[in-house]
Amino acid sequence: MTLFAIAVSPLLCTLGLVQLLGIMAAAAARLTEGTRYERGGQWLCLVSLVVVGGLCGWSLQFGPGSSAACAVTLTLMTLIAIIDFH
C-alpha cells in the first residue's frame, strides 16, 4: 500500500501553479515599488492578471470549484497590487 493513494490531475496542478505564480507576481510588483525595477514588476503583474483572468474563463469547463478558485486568486492579486499600507 502506498502512502499517496490519491491521484491528482496534472491539469489541476497546473492551474494551481499558475495561480501561485500570479500571486507571486502581484507581490513582486508590490515589493519593487519605489525601486528601479518598479516598471518591470508592474508589467509582470499586468501580464499575470491577464493570464489568470483568461484562466478564470477557461476553467469554467472544469466545474465551479476550479473557476471559483481562479476568481479568488484574481481578487487576491488585485488586492495585493492596489492596497495601500501607508
Q: What tens digit of pLDDT does each residue of 25-74 get?
A: 999 999 998 899 999 999 999 999 999 999 999 988 888 888 898 999 99
Measured between alpha carbons, how far is 56 from 67 in angstroms, rounded to an integer? 5
Burial of 33 (0-12, 13-18, 19+ CB in 10 A): exposed
- Shortest CA distance to 54 belongs to which of 68, 70, 40? 70
Reported confidence tier of residue 10, pLDDT bands at 50, 70, 90: confident
**Cβ neighbours, 10 Å, residue 21:** 14
Measured between alpha carbons, how far is 72 from 82 in angstroms, rounded to an integer? 16
